[in-house]
Each structure stands twice: as C-alpha cells, then as structure tokens.
Amino acid sequence: MAASFYFFFGTILLPPLAFRRLLADARALGRGFRVVILAGLLYAATSFARAASGAVPMAPTWVKITEYNYLIWQMIFVLPALLLLWVLAAGLIQLLGRRGQKSAAFEATAGLTGYAVGLPLLLLWIPQAIGAGLMLLGMTQAEWVEILSRPGSSQTLFIGVHVLAAIWAFLLLTFTAKLAQKLPWWRALLTGLVVALIAAVFFFALVR
C-alpha cells in the first residue's frame, strides 16, 4: 500500500524519479493497471450520477445512441474503453520507441503508461464529478452549462484543467518513452506527442 501511495503522489510531484523506480518494480504492470481501473470506475460512477439526474451528453456524439441513453451506455463501457486506451498507448510507445535489446519489456512500459494515462484522466474527471454532484443536488444541466459558458473564473478554471491535463499527459508519456525505451529526448518528445494526440482523440470521441 505504501508503495502505491508513493508512486501515485510521486508521479504528481517528481515524475522522472517515480517513473525510474516504477520501471524497476516487478509489480509495475499491476500498479499501472490499478490506476486505469480507478479512473474507469470513477468515470462510470459520474456517468451513472449524471444519467440519474436526467443529464444528456454535453457535446455531439458520433455513436448512434439516443442522447437519453448515452450516459447509461457510457457507464457500462467507459472502463473497458479506458483499458483499451491504456493498452493502445503502451503498445504505440513500445512500437514507436523500439530500439532492440535496450527497450524495456512491454509489461514495464505498460506499467508506466498506466500512470501516464490514468492520472491526467483523474484530473479531467474532477470537473465531471463536480457537475454530477451539483446536478444530483438539484441544479439543471442547462444551469451547469451556463456557468461553464459564461466568461469568468469558472470557465477559466474549467479550460485550465483541460489544458493542464493535456500538458501533463504529454509530459508523462514523454517520460515513459524516454525511460522505458531509452530514447533520445527528441524522439521521446515526438513519441509522447503522437501518443498523447491519439489518446486525446480516442478519449474525447467516446466520453461525454
């Protein structure tokens, strides 16, 4: 348990140091897996809460599901979708950064990627949790959208969380590529950027 707290908060405060230690940890894969599971369960819970309050997706969806049922289906499938995103991101880092015998095993890369993907997702979850809580307490979705749409501190904070999560994911994925695949910095930065962009498209195409 202590090690799990160390890697969780170490990734927030000193990600390079935490990732180096995680890379040498025999349980890295399981630790990364649990972070993604936590994110998936929290997104499922907020999807249920929003559906129970009568909310509908706040952005257009490309899946042909009625808007009143979308959040229920999201509650069911968001955890498998995030696990798929995790495996896809780890596989891309392993593939794009392969350098023969110096590369870490996929399990180690996936362990680091679990934190690189899962922690920014947890940050993005916070505004969803706040909105879901307020709607359960009686606020309408229209009122919540109005708060976020009106220029001011709430809108700035909402946008800032998304920008911070994007930058954080890029940096953590870059550290993953650098440490697990022993890449030079320019290749690690490029790999991190490509994987972060693909992960962002995947996530925002599904999660509403």
What are the angstrom distances between the C-alpha of 23 and each of 8, 10, 108, 171?
14, 13, 6, 16
Please tell me the distance from the alpha carbon of residue 78 to that of residue 197, in angstroms, as a whole number: 19
The residue that leads in pLDDT, 49 or 13, is 49
Q: How many domains does the chain have?
A: 1
3-state secondary structure 123-150: HHHHHHHHHHHHHHCCCCHHHHHHHHHC
Say if residues 191 and 97 touch (Cβ distance below 8 Å). Answer: yes
What residues contact 188, with CB distance under 8 A and at least 6 apart? 97, 174, 175, 177, 178, 181
Task: Name the pTM for this structure.
Answer: 0.91
Say if residues 169 and 120 touch (Cβ distance below 8 Å). Answer: yes
Q: What is the mean pLDDT of residues 107-126?
A: 95
> For position 152, what pLDDT does the model report?
87
The overall average pLDDT reported for the chain is 89
Reported as a single tens digit per residue, the pLDDT across 37-51 is 999 999 999 999 998
Burial environment of residue 150 by CB neighbours within 10 A (0 to 12, 13 to 18, 19 or more) = exposed
What residues contact 200, with CB distance under 8 A and at least 6 apart? 166, 169
Under the banding of pLDDT at 50, 70 and 90, the label for residue 58 is: confident
Evaluate if residue 60 carries a pLDDT over 80: no
- Domain span including residue 173: 2-206
Please tell me the distance from the alpha carbon of residue 141 to that of residue 187, in angstroms, as a whole number: 43
Reported as a single tens digit per residue, the pLDDT across 127-173 is 999 999 999 898 888 898 888 888 889 899 999 999 999 999 999 99
Return the minimum-mean-pLDDT range out of 4-13, 115-124, 154-163, 189-198. 4-13
